[in-house]
Amino acid sequence: MHYEKLFEKGTIGRLELRNRVVMTAMGTMLGDWNGCSTPEQVRFYEERAKGGCGLIIPEFTSVDPDSGHCNRIQLGIWDARQISSFERICDAVHRHGAKIFVQLHHGGREAPPAINGGRQAMAPSVELNSVIGRDTILPREMTIEDIDRLVGLFVQAALNAQAAGADGVEIHGAHGYLLQQFMSPYTNKRTDEYGGSMENRCRFIVRILKGIREVVEPGFVVGARINGNDFVEGGNDQDACVEIAKYLEPYVDYFNVSCGVYASAATMIEPCYSPEGWRSGFVKAIKSQVSVPIIAVNTVKHPQFAEQLLQEGVSDFVGMSRMHIADPYLVQKTMAGREDLIRKCLGCMNCNKSVVAGRTLHCALNPVAGHEVTFGDDKLVKNGNGRKVAIVGGGPAGMQAALLMKKRGFEPVIFEASGTLGGSAILASKAPCKHMAQEFVDTQIAEMQEYGIEVHLNTPGTVARIQTIEPYCVVVACGGNQIIPGVPGADRDNVYYIEDVLLGKVQFAGKKIAVIGGGHVGLEVAHYLCADNQVTVVEMQKEVGTSIYRTAKYKLLSLLQENGVEILTQHALAGVGEGTVELKQLPGGETVSVDADIVVMALGNRPDKAYEDKLAAAFDKVVVIGDATKAGTMADATKAAYEKCFYI
């Protein structure tokens, strides 16, 4: 495909960018406790610059030493000690021809006291901040002195960013953080000069923007990230956000348009249930009313779609944050015409899940992301010397292991019992909105072909078959065996398993269906079936979907609720009858009957220990990864493949 717009040079203020691709800000947890960068963080951004990105905006960066922090580890730019820290990031990005802006941030009422020295959060007004899945925060109302102090801190932070070598700053006025809290009537109930009218609600950010412009060099870019819609009742809708953009335009060189607040989190950092380009309406509405350039994030998964957005005039630059986590070289690959080799973001939310949990960034598709200092290609121990390695199983874990071993100089041979590569990811891709799982499989297959990795389909990894290649090592990545409950009626003709349903071996309409198991797979099977059937999900635990990150989980549960799916927690399957399932209530043990024409077992898999023992007895080196060792997610599978095969 010819990319007329995507690789066209662009200008923001007086700054020229080499293309229209922007890596927008996202937390990484890669810094240190003092708000300074680390070698891991510098390398993380350097790889994205090396990959061809035009502009990089690192994670939100705190301006205040005492308040406003939203992550346990968050970059800072509030004092001179952090100038040299940020300089290392700026130099690494500039070395490879990209530009860099620093996103200046204060969390306001979203800043938990626990990670701000116990200090109470600040906000425009005293409004209880209660979001499902996390602790409630009660902020205090900011005084005029507080506002004056923070204006000074934002201005000083911009000067520090300039001194560090950044090309500009982006003032974070979106996502329910402090400056957006002032701009939105949802959180601003003030009656003084900082509340009420739109002009008053914008007074705080205008003071900051004007203050920065007065002290920085003329060519230094000053922009703002703003919402195109808050997606909360009582907040700024699209029309209100357009008016705010028009009002702020004289003070900025560009806008970075996003949306949502924490009360509407599934719009802010959306899981897989939002299609590519779903934000285009409010982005175009703002772009049509201002003349400064627009950067916009739009759930972009494919460079072809990014080109389309630019051709249609939706935005002037395309924001691709999570895509750059999944594949730092996506621009290079696109320019080379190898879009088939791009690892495209699943929207699984594992990156956000890991950071919110206080752990280092972890991508389900790219186990190297954030760990380049340890697992980068330059750290590979290339001691394979052409020795054979048997990979049993051609799912995501097996293919990831094969690719890594090939890079290390081994000759991996994949033995896959089925007629296609992909493993459990094929099943995952069949659920509604999960098509990107199939695209990941397609990318991995392209990688196998690109690296010339030997693959044997319809070939179970028996001991005898593996012995024919005389392997140096055997990597077991063949998943597990599905769990079959030992209850009366489990073998009835109306009992099916997830493979039967998701692979289309059976189809149902107008049926009452009981899905046994409320884990991730069980809920997705229910989503697959609920459009044409009456579905009940049965789960032993107190809640369903415990392995799913909260934003994705609540969105999926809302979709199930909209389609009439009933969820029964603390119920265990006791038996399957004619048109019913017998359930045992937990605790207590009382038995209840639920009508069910069809029963679908979604109880997961367990490792095949007997098979592992056979391999261990026959070969000196056996490594077990993925579901073959413990049922888990795709993120678990790719991570285990990298970590266990890196030093074999």
CATH number at residue 93: 3.20.20.70
Does residue 53 fall inside a structural domain? Answer: yes
Taking a C-beta distance cutoff of 8 angstroms, is the pair 208, 151 a contact? yes
Does residue 472 fall inside a structural domain? Answer: yes
Taking a C-beta distance cutoff of 8 angstroms, is the pair 570, 541 a contact? yes
Do 553 and 457 lie in one domain? The reply is no
411, HSE (Cβ side, Cα atoms, 13 Å): 8
Q: Is 160 exposed, middle or buried (0-12, 13-18, 19+ CB in 10 A)?
A: buried
Residues 55-78: what's their mean pLDDT?
96
Q: What local confidence, expressed as pLDDT, does residue 130 receive?
A: 80
Taking a C-beta distance cutoff of 8 angstroms, is the pair 248, 205 a contact? yes
Does residue 570 fall inside a structural domain? Answer: yes
Q: What local confidence, expressed as pLDDT, does residue 628 receive?
A: 64
pLDDT digits (tens, 9 = 90+) for 369-426: 999 999 999 999 999 999 999 999 999 999 999 999 999 999 999 999 999 999 999 9
Q: Is 279 helix (H, G, I), strand (E, B) or coil?
A: coil
Confidence of residue 145 (pLDDT cuts 50, 70, 90): very high
Number of domains in the chain: 3
Does residue 5 fall inside a structural domain? Answer: no
Does residue 416 fall inside a structural domain? Answer: yes
Taking a C-beta distance cutoff of 8 angstroms, is the pair 513, 496 a contact? no
For residue 576, give the CATH number of its domain.
3.50.50.60
Residue 538, beta-bridge partner list: 516, 568
322, HSE (Cβ side, Cα atoms, 13 Å): 25
| Distance, CA of 524 to CA of 360 (rounded, Å) | 28
Query: Is the sign of the CA dihedral 598, 604, 606, 608 positive or negative?
Result: positive
Do 472 and 500 lie in one domain? The reply is no
Residues 182-192: what's their mean pLDDT?
97
Interhelix angle for 203-215 vs 238-248, to 10°? 30
pLDDT digits (tens, 9 = 90+) for 544-599: 999 899 999 999 999 999 999 999 999 999 999 999 999 999 988 899 999 999 99
* Residue 131: pLDDT over 90: no
| Distance, CA of 62 to CA of 78 (rounded, Å) | 7
Residues 147-174: what's their mean pLDDT?
98
Q: Of 85, 90, 69, which is closest to residue 153 (Cα–Cα)?
A: 69
* Residue 46: pLDDT over 80: yes
Do 240 and 385 lie in one domain? The reply is no
Do 184 and 287 lie in one domain? The reply is yes
Contacts of 620 (CB under 8 A, 6+ apart): none
Q: Is 56 helix (H, G, I), strand (E, B) or coil?
A: strand
DSSP β-ladder status, 591-595 and 495-497? unpaired
Q: Is 586 helix (H, G, I), strand (E, B) or coil?
A: coil
Tokens 């203050």 — which residue? 211
DSSP output for 205-269: HHHHHHHHHHHS-TTSEEEEEEES---STTS--HHHHHHHHHHHGGG-S-EEEE---GGGHHHHS
DSSP output for 380-427: -----TT-EEEEE--SHHHHHHHHHHHHTT-EEEEE-SSSSS-THHHH
pLDDT digits (tens, 9 = 90+) for 68-79: 999 999 999 999
Q: How far is CA 136 from the centre of its chain?
A: 24
Does residue 2 fall inside a structural domain? Answer: no
Confidence of residue 630 (pLDDT cuts 50, 70, 90): confident
Confidence of residue 481 (pLDDT cuts 50, 70, 90): confident
Confidence of residue 509 (pLDDT cuts 50, 70, 90): very high
For residue 395, give the CATH number of its domain.
3.40.50.720
In percent, the amount of the chain with pLDDT more than 70 equals 99
Q: What local confidence, expressed as pLDDT, does residue 133 receive?
A: 64
- Cβ density class 382-392: b for 16+ within 10 Å, e for less: eebeebbbbbb
Which domain, by its residues, includes 514? Answer: 495-604
Q: Which of 177, 186, 254, 549 is catalytic?
A: 177
403, 423, 502, 596 from 426: Cα distances, Å = 19, 6, 9, 27
Residues 129-146: what's their mean pLDDT?
86
| Distance, CA of 97 to CA of 637 (rounded, Å) | 35
Do 323 and 394 lie in one domain? The reply is no
Do 259 and 199 lie in one domain? The reply is yes
Looking at 319, 340, 374, which one is the last position of a domain? 374
Q: What local confidence, expressed as pLDDT, does residue 132 receive?
A: 65
pLDDT digits (tens, 9 = 90+) for 2-28: 899 999 999 999 999 999 999 999 999
Looking at 374, 400, 430, which one is the last position of a domain? 374
CA angle, 393 as apex, 610 and 435 as ends, to 5°? 130
Q: Is 440 helix (H, G, I), strand (E, B) or coil?
A: helix
Taking a C-beta distance cutoff of 8 angstroms, is the pair 392, 457 a contact? no
Do 523 and 591 lie in one domain? The reply is yes
Do 475 and 511 lie in one domain? The reply is no
Q: Of 445, 447, 386, which is closest to residue 412 (Cα–Cα)?
A: 386
251 is catalytic: no
End-to-end Cα separation, the chain, in angstroms:
40
| Distance, CA of 93 to CA of 364 (rounded, Å) | 25
| Distance, CA of 471 to CA of 391 (rounded, Å) | 10
Do 156 and 273 lie in one domain? The reply is yes
Do 161 and 77 lie in one domain? The reply is yes
Does residue 164 fall inside a structural domain? Answer: yes
Q: How many C-beta atoms surround the C-beta of residue 308 within 10 A? A: 18
| Distance, CA of 150 to CA of 182 (rounded, Å) | 13
Q: What local confidence, expressed as pLDDT, does residue 589 receive?
A: 84
Tokens of 298: 């739009």
Taking a C-beta distance cutoff of 8 angstroms, is the pair 162, 77 a contact? no
Model-level pTM? Answer: 0.95
Do 62 and 159 lie in one domain? The reply is yes
Count each helix (H run) and each strand (E run) in the chain, helices first.
23, 28
Looking at 374, 397, 413, which one is the last position of a domain? 374
Residues 483-502: what's their mean pLDDT?
94
Tokens of 535: 């579905």
37, 125, 253 from 53: Cα distances, Å = 20, 40, 20
Taking a C-beta distance cutoff of 8 angstroms, is the pair 437, 424 a contact? no
| Distance, CA of 632 to CA of 424 (rounded, Å) | 11
Do 276 and 407 lie in one domain? The reply is no
The amino acid at 249: E
Does residue 91 fall inside a structural domain? Answer: yes
In percent, the amount of the chain with pLDDT more than 90 equals 93
